[in-house]
């Protein structure tokens, strides 16, 4: 027991030191966790520090962490959310997985010389993207509600469902098990078990959780207990514990208390997220890197370059702008934690060797590290690549875009906030135009004969075409800070008198937007879209009255900032 405790203490100490250094250089902590794992692997391999003969803690935490992470993934796979994915995400996700799988398979089989079964595993591994990484980075950037964020999450849900099926297939296939045996055990027994658990989730769990939810501690304990019980049940019936944990999360996601459960287990989620990335680094032994490096680099190119190209191509077919296509492409440009779980299952079944697992693990480290930078600096990356990615945008979009008249007001971004603002513009009887980069939104607005235009504010050509010099009111519900800064700057150059209302999520961002020339900054977590809608209805286009509201708002934001708050949401508690 002391050996295990010492090993864990050393690994976590290495993780803390490396992550602290990474934080000093303002780099993503994910990279620090992975580097810590590689260093810990070297410490174990070369016996720099005496670990003892047993490395049991590493294997135990690997399985334990993966199972718990899959439980958390399952909690976010609510069937109601799956219904709202939309046809575009479904088709894009399925086509991307198929083409990436084929590309990975033929590259592994023809170019790298792997046999058919290992090539199939490699193709499957390359097809999936990391739910954990993407959700965390999009959440940190506050882009979960953006168009590209929603499409990315939709594709991830499709991938996770397919990955769950693949995992069920592999866990059902023992050494020598035929496909017909899988059809009986996997499709019939597995599907029957999942249907039974969902019936339990719909009819039995609600009254139980309602009673338990009176105590937050009991709700937390029940959630963890449910995860492990279902995991053990799946293991007993010949499936994997990891698959059981995933199903346990999905079944529990239909509970009305799923959000409370998710918030309660967030600290554990973060801990096992750290453990997962450390283990990811531990799978790479320094002495073996040279033998798998070349293959890992080739496979990384497929994930980092060809997978985004496939995604952007299909996105273009659905009529999205090149910026949305590009952001979705780079967001999904990595190898998934699910991929490594599938490969580990393949090693356990004897289908592939540990060398292939090490190769894909190294490729996972490379792709996750680089894609993290690509996502965090997506706007800067897009500006440099905008000319090249123009080929991933339908040419007729710009030809169809014609500005036929001048407008008093333009609403940039039609969403839940924009709906109320649009109604206010109707009431004050101003000529208005809605600009949005979601083709489905434009189609729906067109059916109701609402003046609308398909385009992206980041497109300089679009801003030049808009009659900004005659504009009296511009409202942006788009949450991206840099986009709103560009909009304010562009309008102020040609129209200093226009009233400009933009959106921000953080206090410091709101103050910077005020400094740039915004008349009012919408902070949804503080005042909300309804307040701004009423303000537009009452103040109409009176610049002086907006300035009065601006002064009051700046004072409120400054007071919160002085108290140490960075986000208006703090004031709600």
Q: What is the pLDDT of residues 396-439, one digit of tens each?
A: 555 555 566 778 889 998 876 777 788 788 887 778 889 988 88
pLDDT in tens, 32-73: 877 887 787 777 666 655 555 455 666 676 677 777 777 877
Of 399-408, 435-444, 464-473, 488-497, highest mean pLDDT: 488-497
- The pLDDT assigned to 573 comes to 31
Q: Would you say residue 184 has pLDDT above 70?
A: no
Question: Mean pLDDT, to the nearest integer, of 327-345?
Answer: 88
**Quick one: pLDDT at residue 400?**
52
Cβ(300)–Cβ(290) under 8 Å? no
3-state secondary structure of 16: helix
Question: What is the pLDDT at residue 572?
Answer: 34
Percent of the chain with pLDDT over 70: 83
Question: What was the pLDDT predicted at 553?
Answer: 83
The stretch 288-303 carries a mean pLDDT of 88
Residue 447 has pLDDT above 50, yes or no: yes
Same domain, residue pair 371 and 285: yes
The CATH number that applies at residue 360 is 1.20.1530.20
Of the three residues 389, 409, 424, the one that is the final residue of a domain is: 389
Domain boundary among 325, 354, 389: 389
Three-state SS letters, 506-530: CHHHHHHHHHHCCCEEECCCCCCHH
Q: Is the pLDDT of residue 299 over 90?
A: yes
Mean pLDDT of 198-206: 85
Distances (CA, A) of 509 to 206, 524, 557: 42, 13, 11
CB 317 within 8 A of CB 73: no
Say whether pLDDT at 23 is over 70: yes
SS (HEC) of 160-201? HHHHHHHHHHHHHCCCCCCHHHHHHHHHHHHHHHHHHHHHHH
In angstroms, rounded to a whole number, what is the distance separating the alpha carbons of residues 334 and 322? 20
d(CA 438, CA 145): 13
Spatial distance between the Cα atoms of 275 and 268, rounded to a whole number of angstroms: 10
Bridge pairing between strands 452-454 and 473-476 = unpaired
Range 460-477 average pLDDT: 85
What pLDDT, on a 0 to 100 scale, did the predictor assign at position 320? 85
If asked whether residues 96 and 157 sit together in one domain, one would say: yes
Neighbour count for residue 203 (Cβ, 10 Å) = 9
Q: How many domains does the chain have?
A: 2
Maximum mean pLDDT: which of 77-86, 278-287, 469-478: 469-478
- Compute the average pLDDT of residues 440-459: 83
Higher confidence at residue 273 or residue 445? 445
Residue ending a domain, among 339, 363, 389, is: 389
- Percent of the chain exceeding pLDDT 90 equals 15
Q: What is the pLDDT of residues 246-255, one digit of tens each?
A: 888 888 888 8
Task: Give the per-residue pLDDT at 84.
Answer: 59
CB 198 within 8 A of CB 251: yes
* Cβ proximity of 7 and 57 under 8 Å: yes
More confident residue, 362 or 259: 362
Tell me the average pLDDT across 175-192.
Answer: 59
Average pLDDT over residues 524-552: 75
- Claim to verify: residue 161 and residue 96 sit in the same structural domain: yes
pLDDT (mean) for 284-308: 86
Q: Is the CB of residue 456 less than 8 Å from the CB of residue 323?
A: yes
Same domain for 444 and 565, yes or no, is yes
Residues 322 and 238 in one domain: yes
Closest by CA to 337, choosing from 573, 138, 167, 489, is 167
Question: Do 255 and 204 belong together in one domain?
Answer: yes
410 by DSSP, 3-state: which? strand
Asked whether residue 410 falls in the same domain as residue 501, the answer is: yes
pLDDT digits (tens, 9 = 90+) for 107-148: 999 999 999 999 999 999 999 998 878 887 887 777 777 778
- Section 24-39 average pLDDT: 76
Verify that 383 and 440 share a domain, yes or no.
no
Amino acid 1: pLDDT: 61
Q: What is the predicted pLDDT for the residue at 312?
A: 93
DSSP 468: G
Judge if 339 and 447 occupy the same domain: no
Which one has a higher pLDDT value, 381 or 538? 381
Using a 10 angstrom Cβ sphere, with 0-12 exposed, 13-18 middle and 19 or more buried, the burial of residue 169 is middle
* Average pLDDT along the chain: 80
Q: Please tell me what DSSP assigns to residue 48.
A: S
Instruction: Give the mean model confidence (pLDDT) for residues 264-273.
Output: 73
What confidence score (pLDDT) does residue 140 get?
76
Among 35-49, 377-391, 463-477, which is the least confidently predicted range? 35-49
Q: What is the pLDDT of residue 107?
A: 95
Name which of 187, 163, 159 is nearest 173 in CA terms: 187
**In which domain, by residue range, is 253 found?**
2-389
Is residue 101 within 8 A of residue 126, CB to CB? The reply is: yes
Question: What does the DSSP 8-state code read for residue 571?
Answer: G
CATH number at residue 476: 3.40.50.720
Q: Are residues 420 and 369 in the same domain?
A: no
**Cβ atoms within 10 Å of 110's Cβ, excluding its own:** 10
Q: Indicate the SS3 state at residue 143.
A: coil
Helix (H) or strand (E) holding 159: helix 147-172
Task: Spell out the residues 6+ positions from residue 323 whose beta carbon is closer than 8 angstroms to its own.
Answer: 382, 386, 437, 456, 458, 459
Check whether residue 318 and residue 457 sit in a common domain. no
> Between 359 and 6, whose confidence is greater?
359
Q: What is the pTM of this model?
A: 0.76
Partners of 499 in the β-ladder: 473
Under DSSP, is residue 127 helix (H, G, I), strand (E, B) or coil?
A: helix
487, 340: one domain: no
Q: Check whether 571 has a pLDDT greater than 50.
A: no
Nearest C-alpha neighbor of 168 from the set 242, 101, 97: 242
Flag the least confident range among 3-12, 14-23, 207-216.
3-12
Candidate ranges 191-205, 305-319, 443-457; pick with highest mean pLDDT: 305-319
- Averaged pLDDT, 344-348: 82
């Amino acid at each position: 027991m002391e050996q295990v405790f010492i090993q864990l203490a050393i690994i976590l100490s290495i993780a803390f030191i490396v992550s602290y250094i990474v934080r000093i250089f303002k780099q993503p902590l994910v990279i620090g966790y992975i580097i810590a794992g590689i260093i810990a692997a070297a410490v174990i391999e070369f016996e720099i520090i005496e670990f003892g003969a047993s490395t049991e803690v590493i294997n135990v935490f690997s399985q334990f962490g993966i199972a718990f992470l899959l439980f958390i993934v399952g909690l976010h796979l609510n069937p109601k959310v799956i219904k709202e994915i939309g046809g575009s995400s479904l088709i894009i996700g399925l086509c991307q997985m198929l083409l990436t799988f084929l590309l990975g398979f033929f590259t592994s089989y023809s170019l790298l010389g792997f046999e058919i079964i290992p090539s199939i595993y490699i193709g499957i591994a390359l097809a999936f993207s990391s739910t954990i990484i993407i959700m965390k980075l999009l959440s940190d950037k506050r882009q979960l509600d953006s168009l590209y964020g929603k499409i990315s999450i939709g594709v991830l849900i499709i991938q996770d469902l397919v990955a769950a099926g693949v995992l069920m297939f592999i866990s059902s296939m023992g050494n020598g098990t035929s496909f017909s045996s899988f059809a009986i055990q996997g499709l019939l027994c597995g599907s029957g078990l999942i249907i039974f658990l969902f019936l339990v989730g719909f009819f039995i769990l609600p009254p139980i959780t309602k009673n338990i939810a009176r105590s937050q501690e009991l709700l937390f304990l029940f959630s963890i207990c449910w995860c492990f019980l279902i995991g053990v049940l799946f293991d007993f019936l010949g499936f994997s514990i990891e698959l059981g944990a995933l199903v346990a999360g999905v079944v529990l996601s239909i509970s009305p208390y799923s959000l409370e459960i998710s918030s309660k287990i967030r600290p554990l989620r973060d801990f096992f997220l750290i453990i997962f990335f450390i283990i990811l680094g531990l799978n790479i032994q320094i002495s073996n890197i040279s033998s798998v490096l070349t293959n890992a680099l080739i496979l990384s190119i497929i994930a980092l370059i060809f997978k985004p190209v496939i995604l952007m191509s299909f996105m273009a077919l659905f009529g999205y702008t090149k910026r949305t296509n590009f952001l979705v492409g780079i967001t999904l440009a990595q190898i998934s934690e699910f991929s490594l779980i599938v490969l580990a299952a393949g090693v356990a079944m004897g289908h592939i060797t540990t060398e292939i697992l090490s190769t894909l693990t190294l490729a996972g480290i490379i792709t996750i590290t680089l894609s993290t930078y690509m996502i965090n600096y997506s706007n800067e990356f897009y500006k440099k690549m905008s000319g090249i990615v123009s080929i991933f945008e339908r040419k007729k979009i710009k030809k169809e875009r014609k500005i036929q008249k001048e407008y008093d007001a333009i609403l940039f971004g039609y969403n839940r906030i924009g709906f109320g603002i649009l109604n206010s513009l109707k009431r004050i009887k101003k000529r208005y135009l809605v600009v949005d980069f979601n083709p489905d939104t434009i189609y729906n607005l067109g059916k109701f004969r609402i003046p609308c235009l398909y385009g992206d504010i980041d497109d300089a050509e679009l801003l030049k075409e808009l009659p900004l010099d005659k504009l009296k009111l511009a409202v942006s519900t788009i949450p991206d800070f840099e986009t709103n800064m560009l909009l304010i700057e562009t309008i102020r150059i040609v129209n200093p008198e226009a009233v400009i209302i933009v959106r921000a999520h953080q206090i410091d961002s709101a103050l910077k937007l005020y400094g740039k020339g915004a008349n009012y900054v919408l902070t949804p977590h503080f005042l909300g879209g309804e307040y701004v809608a009423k303000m537009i209805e009452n103040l109409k286009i009176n610049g002086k009255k907006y300035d009065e509201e601006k002064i009051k708002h700046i004072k409120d934001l400054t007071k919160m900032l002085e108290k140490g708050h960075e986000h208006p949401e703090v004031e709600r508690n």
